[in-house]
């Protein structure tokens, strides 16, 4: 009985651990956690609270089995955190006026600000994360020649890095967007596009003259119209690359293009 209790506890712990880590959403993890808790209580009541009296040694060994089993769950969780920490261990980001250097161990990558073509920031939902230990905040960069760099909130100073990237990439990316805008072309920002007619998203359009505000908050891009009867657009930042350029372009149009008549009749 005592050896069986240890084996049972370990088996439950491993099964619970695997099920919890394999879940793709917070809702699934809550369900698995509740089922696991109910199963433990049921087994404890049925096996160790029966009429048969057990010795103190039996009870101690049984509890030891539970502790070992579920201890493995917390150990594995800690291992996931350790694995994320290991990915950024020794990682240094050095920013300069012309670009940044990504240094880790014996490898170093130099990226110039003007080489960056796409900046994507996102607050990831559970279904966006590949594992339970993925970071929830992510910054992704892609250069014109296809090099990709990803950083998440395991990196200390991620917010400051994102601000630096957006600050130094805005001049050349905004120039490209303005050239396309002035030429009368549509400028694509993922699911949102901008042109001299206004903004378009999901088949809906919003003329520049009816735009009240465009801003980001809590992983979303908020686009508000002057007419309160129009629904406000709430778009995930994950779907809007170069969102800082889109906001700057919108501000340019509102402050200058509308004032000096740069829009079509």
pLDDT in single tens digits along all 265 residues of the chain? 455 555 555 566 666 566 555 554 545 555 666 666 666 666 665 655 554 555 555 555 555 555 555 555 544 444 444 445 555 567 889 999 999 999 988 889 999 999 999 999 988 765 555 555 455 789 999 999 999 999 988 888 899 999 999 999 999 999 999 999 999 999 999 999 999 999 999 999 999 989 999 999 989 999 999 887 777 899 999 999 999 999 999 999 988 766 765 554 4
Contact partners, residue 153, CB within 8 Å, separation at least 6: 135, 136, 137, 138
Sequence-separated contacts (24+) of 97-100 with Cβ below 8 Å: 97/168, 99/168, 100/164, 100/165
What is the distance of C-alpha 125 from the center of its chain? 6
Last residue of a domain, one of 122, 155, 188: 155
Residue 134 lies in a domain: yes
The count of domains in the chain is 3
Domain co-membership, 129 together with 101: yes
Last residue of a domain, one of 124, 155, 186: 155
- Domain of residue 150 covers 91-155
Report the alpha-carbon distance of residue 158 to residue 154 in Å, rounded. 8
Sheet with 99-104, side-by-side order of all strands: 91-95, 99-104, 107-112
Give the separation between CA 171 and CA 157, rounded to whole angstroms. Answer: 23
């Amino acid at each position: 009985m005592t050896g069986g209790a240890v084996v049972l506890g370990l088996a439950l712990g491993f099964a619970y651990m695997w099920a919890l880590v394999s879940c793709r959403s917070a809702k699934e993890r809550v369900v698995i956690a509740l089922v696991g808790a109910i199963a433990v209580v049921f087994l404890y009541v049925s096996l160790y609270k029966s009429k048969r009296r057990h010795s103190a040694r039996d009870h101690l060994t049984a509890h030891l089995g539970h502790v070992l089993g579920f201890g493995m769950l917390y150990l594995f969780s800690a291992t996931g955190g350790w694995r994320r920490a290991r990915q950024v261990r020794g990682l240094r980001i050095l920013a300069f006026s012309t670009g940044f250097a990504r240094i880790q161990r014996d490898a170093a990558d130099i990226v110039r600000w003007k080489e960056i073509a796409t900046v994507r920031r996102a607050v990831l939902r559970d279904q966006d994360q590949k594992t339970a230990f993925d970071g929830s905040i992510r910054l992704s960069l892609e250069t014109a020649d296809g090099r990709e760099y990803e950083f998440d909130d395991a990196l200390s100073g991620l917010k400051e890095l994102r601000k630096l990237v957006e600050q130094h990439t805005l001049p050349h990316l905004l120039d490209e967007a303005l050239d396309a805008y002035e030429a009368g072309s549509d400028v694509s920002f993922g699911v949102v596009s901008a042109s001299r007619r206004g903004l378009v998203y999901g088949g809906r359009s919003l003329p520049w003259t009816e735009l009240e505000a465009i801003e980001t908050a809590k992983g979303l891009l908020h686009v508000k119209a002057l007419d309160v009867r129009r629904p406000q657009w709430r778009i995930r930042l994950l779907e809007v690359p170069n969102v800082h350029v889109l906001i700057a372009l919108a501000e340019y149009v509102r402050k200058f293009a509308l004032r000096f008549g740069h829009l079509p009749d």
